[in-house]
Chain A
Amino acid sequence: MAILEVLTIPDPRLKQESQPVERFDSSLRDFIHDLEQTMRSSPGGVGIAAPQVARFERIIIVDVSRKPKIQSHGRLVLINPEILEWQGMEKGREGCMSVPDYTGNVIRAKTIKINAYDESGQMRSYDCEGYEARAIQHEVDHLDGVLFLDRLVSRRTDLFQRKVYSEKSVAKSD
């Protein structure tokens, strides 16, 4: 059990593409344990990707369940994740353990459908939305060497039309 060192910019390894996991063995599970400890040791951390700790394999962990009022699947270990469908767009604010003292606005899909293996090598499928979907998209980007800094939009970029629409639909579901 260990908290791993997190790479921070401008480390060029953060721009590196990660490779698929091929062996689902105990060393993988040990690593996932450490990766999760590392994520939970970061204040406000809701996700982490293996390349952030210099292991260039397609493994991410997301857990947004500590945020109140948010629908989620709880602790998600996603190995070789593949986003199959994207729907809607939403501007939200992101920060990153690998980018200290900076947050910025990024547009992400509102809902996604994703396939991934779990830690025992079982293929699973998830439908995610909102905050959880955003966290997953942020982490999957890390696997491709993409940081939220590569996707920043200005404060002025607004999706007013969509917001009006989504507020109405939220009110309906209440």
Chain B
Amino acid sequence: MTNNWHMLTVVGKDKPGIVASISEALFAAGCNFGEASMSRLGGNFTIMLMVQYEGGTERLEKIIAPIAQTLNLRCHINAIEGQLHAHREPDVRISVYGQDRTGIVAHVTGTLARAGLDIYDLESDVGGSGENPVYIMHIEGHAMRGVDALKEALETEKTPGIETHLEEIDTIIG
């Protein structure tokens, strides 16, 4: 529990103003914010937010409780070993889309993991229509055994109806 970092997870039905309500309350209580990731998933509001607070987990829960009640949100707080300024740079990006939803996640991530992909970031979404859903996924990560190993694996494990695109991330520092 170094540096008093906590991971605050909030889930609930999405409505305007949730982020503002939560962050204003935390800020007023003297919290610092670290990295955060907010998404709207299937009409639900979700956020994971690094919060630095010296007063301990229990008091942090009390700060959040009234807002959670008003906005009908479920909150969870974990004390964590927080660390900022520790970004890892991805060196490969993979986009996948297709019709078979379970197949895409299970098959593609499995194939990539066996070929040495360490996933840093994954986002997936469902587009298309009710009868014809299209599953879309973006992955960024580090190719531990090189990008060619991933390319080969995707090529060998090719599934009909699923398109995969892999590109190297070559970061410019300038």
Interface of A toward B, CB cutoff 8 Å: 42-49, 62, 67, 92-97, 100-103, 131, 134-135, 138-139, 155-156, 158, 160, 163-164, 167
A163 touches B174 (CB 8 A): no
Docked CA distance A174–B116 (Å): 26
Instruction: Kindly list 8 other residue pairs between chains A and B, CB separation below 8 angstroms, not including A158-B95, A164-B165.
Output: A45-B173, A47-B173, A96-B173, A103-B87, A135-B172, A156-B123, A156-B138, A167-B165
Known: A158-B95, A160-B95, A167-B165. A135 touches B174 (CB 8 A): yes
Q: How far is the CB of B131 from chain A (nearest CB, A)?
A: 23
Docked CA distance A17–B95 (Å): 38
Q: Interface size for chain B: under 10, 10 to 19, 20 to 34, or 35 or more residues?
A: 10 to 19
A42 touches B165 (CB 8 A): no
Interface of B toward A, CB cutoff 8 Å: 85, 87, 89, 95, 121, 123, 138, 140, 165, 167, 169-174
Chain A residues within an 8 Å CB radius of B171: 44, 92-95, 103
Q: How far is the CB of A131 from chain B (nearest CB, A)?
A: 6
A97 touches B165 (CB 8 A): no
A-B contact count (CB 8 A): 66
B170 touches A96 (CB 8 A): no
Q: Is the interface of B mostly helix, strand, loop or mixed?
A: strand
Chain B residues within an 8 Å CB radius of A45: 173-174
Chain B residues within an 8 Å CB radius of A42: 173
Which of B121, B165, B172 has the most A CB atoms < 10 Å from its CB?
B172
Docked CA distance A84–B85 (Å): 38
Chain B residues within an 8 Å CB radius of A44: 171, 173
A158 touches B89 (CB 8 A): no
Chain A residues within an 8 Å CB radius of B165: 160, 163-164, 167
| B172 touches which of A46, A155, A156, A163 (Cβ 8 Å) | A46
B138 touches A158 (CB 8 A): yes
Chain A residues within an 8 Å CB radius of B140: 155
Chain B residues within an 8 Å CB radius of A94: 171-174
Known: A101-B85, A102-B87, A155-B140. A96 touches B167 (CB 8 A): no
Docked CA distance A163–B138 (Å): 14
A to B CB contacts below 8 Å, 22 in the list: A43-B173, A44-B173, A46-B172, A48-B174, A49-B174, A67-B170, A92-B170, A94-B172, A94-B173, A95-B171, A95-B172, A96-B173, A103-B89, A103-B171, A131-B170, A134-B172, A135-B174, A156-B138, A158-B95, A160-B165, A163-B95, A164-B165
